[in-house]
Chain A
């Protein structure tokens, strides 16, 4: 997707290891979001950011932390990965929710074994 890149695209990790997913944008948008998508659960918000160093929790934030030290990067960290965190993770960005909603990245498929 233009202007937003998620890395890695795929990752397999072991239970108990730390994992960091990266979302990078070139749009200079204020808002950034992390969602997870699991069968039967739709899109669930993990954390979001409304500016550099400004973040807030979503509905499924337990076990996750985030950081945003500069406008273009929003990092999602699983401090100690568990099998329940196996999922597809999507980053989204927005300049103005009222104007254009979100632009989503292509996703990161994470498998915790």
Chain B
């Protein structure tokens, strides 16, 4: 069935280091993969997304990679800063679906 697995559930890194969050999806026909950042007390916000016809996408310090063969995609944050501390959710859009399927979330903490 529709499923997205996200790892790790918590991640702690030193300021300035890189952080990587990985997600695996189950339907090879999935075609859209957004990432959301949720700060404390707020709703999730889209930070980057990737479509199935692209292998990598970058936006300043964040990047997303997609491996369609292995059915996984990853969020990379470089030169982490305190404001990167948040919960991050990956999601997948299964072909023909009218809703996103979310991973369980990763709580990222940046240590000064």
In contact, B43 and A104 (Cβ under 8 angstroms): yes
B93 within 8 A of partner (CB): yes
User: Which of B31, B44, B46 is within 8 Å of A43, CB to CB?
Assistant: B44
Chain B interface size band reads 20 to 34
User: Which of A50, A97, A100, A107 is within 8 Å of B43, CB to CB?
Assistant: A107
22 CB-based A-B contacts, threshold 8 Å: A1-B43, A33-B99, A42-B89, A42-B104, A43-B102, A48-B98, A48-B99, A50-B98, A58-B99, A90-B44, A97-B32, A97-B98, A98-B32, A101-B36, A102-B36, A102-B44, A102-B46, A104-B36, A104-B43, A106-B43, A107-B41, A107-B43
Interface, chain A (partner B; CB < 8 A): 1, 31, 33, 41-43, 45, 48, 50, 56, 58, 90, 92, 97-98, 100-107
Interface, chain B (partner A; CB < 8 A): 31-32, 34, 36, 41-46, 49, 51, 89, 91, 93, 97-100, 102-105
